[in-house]
Amino acid sequence: MSIQSVDIVGLGALGVLYAGLLAPQLAPGQLQILADEARCLRYRKDGVYQNGQRLDLTYVSPGQAHKPADLLIFAVKYHQLPAAVELAAGEIGPDTTILSLLNGICSEDELAERFGREKVLDTVAQGMDAMKQGNQLRYTQRGQLCLGERRPGLSQGRLEAVTALFDRCGVPYLVDPDMQKRLWGKFMLNVGVNQTTAAYKTDYAGVLRPGRPRDTMIAAMREVMALAPHAGVSLTEAELQGWLRVLEPLDPAGQPSLRQDTEARRKTEVELFAGTVIRLGQQYAVPTPVNQWLFEEIAAQEQAYGARPAASAAAAD
């Protein structure tokens, strides 16, 4: 199995970052950005920029792409996934490999249910400080993708094909034999840093120094730690501290995605983070007061700028 064609769905921060890493190393047309026709027209007209340089990308709408893609990368927000799945469904064939760069602990299972578990590699994007404003992406740390199979041998050679592509293109990656733990660990970090920076309207520097925002971030992460054993995952205090160290090399003035969303007055992924924690807490009788507060605070911000109906700003369920 060899990967010769790549489609990316979604040109947020991660979509642009990985398009910029892959496209220069592939032949023209081997990498395509799959989008609806209106977005394709806008991308062609306005361009997409990475650290000030316009990327030379090919934009196609469904039916125009190579069928099927060898590798399909979903790089959308979680609430955009259902529409992205419908957009891309016709480009997925028996040998297509699927990567999800989405936050949270749900998207791989949802994609596996639709397209088959053997096609979906568990994936975590970590260590990047990419910030996107309009059609401009800037980053100082490109991080890495952590990849693995849900069960050894399940992907039928797909993991090896993806790592061969990444070796060829110089994409940083790590193969992890315990991706469930890593997915939950990244979820723990996101629940803390994404939501805390948004709630306190701060940046990475605001949660790296001692103070109330950092205390809130860590308390929110510990609520995820308390839930993880109910999913068969053990997260230790040492691992929590390890995930906090992931933040240290990032640009102190940078912001994670949820904070970028509130600053840009967009719908956020608070349901994916605090909403998931609150629901699991109710299911397993684990108290989650910090995430309840974060949910209400961020939902109130969304309501204030019109991204959320007033009735849904008080509770996650």
Residue 217 has pLDDT above 50, yes or no: yes
Confidence of residue 66 (pLDDT cuts 50, 70, 90): low
Domain containing 294 — which CATH number? 1.10.1040.10
- Asked if residue 272 belongs to a domain, the reply is yes
| Segment 170-208, tens digit of pLDDT | 999 999 999 999 999 999 999 999 999 999 999 999 999
Stretch 4-24: mean pLDDT, rounded?
Answer: 96
Q: Which two tokens stand for residue 179?
A: 């991706």
pLDDT of residue 306: 85
- Asked if residue 234 belongs to a domain, the reply is yes
Q: Which two tokens stand for residue 44?
A: 């062609």
Residue 317 has pLDDT above 50, yes or no: no
Indicate the number of domains in the chain: 2
pLDDT of residue 35: 96
Nearest CA to 255 out of 205, 191, 305, 184 is that of 205
| Segment 113-162, tens digit of pLDDT | 999 999 999 999 999 999 999 999 999 999 999 999 988 878 879 999 99
**Shared domain check, 155 and 10:** yes
pLDDT of residue 153: 79
**Shared domain check, 100 and 227:** no
State the DSSP string of 270-286: TIIIIIHHHHHHHHHT-
**Shared domain check, 30 and 160:** yes
**Shared domain check, 134 and 24:** yes
Residues in Cβ contact with 2 at an 8 Å cutoff, skipping those fewer than 6 apart: 70, 161, 164
Residue 308 has pLDDT above 90, yes or no: no
Within 10 A of 167 (CB to CB), how many other CB atoms are there? 10
Determine the Cα–Cα distance for residues 261 and 269; give it in Å rounded to an integer. Answer: 9
Domain containing 118 — which CATH number? 3.40.50.720
Q: How far is CA 60 from CA 21, 102, 191, 308, in A?
A: 19, 22, 34, 32
pLDDT of residue 155: 81
Residues in Cβ contact with 144 at an 8 Å cutoff, skipping those fewer than 6 apart: 125, 126, 127, 172, 173, 174
Confidence of residue 70 (pLDDT cuts 50, 70, 90): very high
**Shared domain check, 162 and 222:** no
Confidence of residue 312 (pLDDT cuts 50, 70, 90): very low
Nearest CA to 189 out of 228, 156, 140 is that of 228
Determine the Cα–Cα distance for residues 189 and 162; give it in Å rounded to an integer. Answer: 26
- φ, ψ for residue 34 (rounded to 5)? -95, 120
**Shared domain check, 151 and 34:** yes
The average confidence (pLDDT) of the chain is: 93
Domain with 262, as residue range(s), is: 180-312
Q: Which two tokens stand for residue 90?
A: 């016709």
pLDDT of residue 254: 93
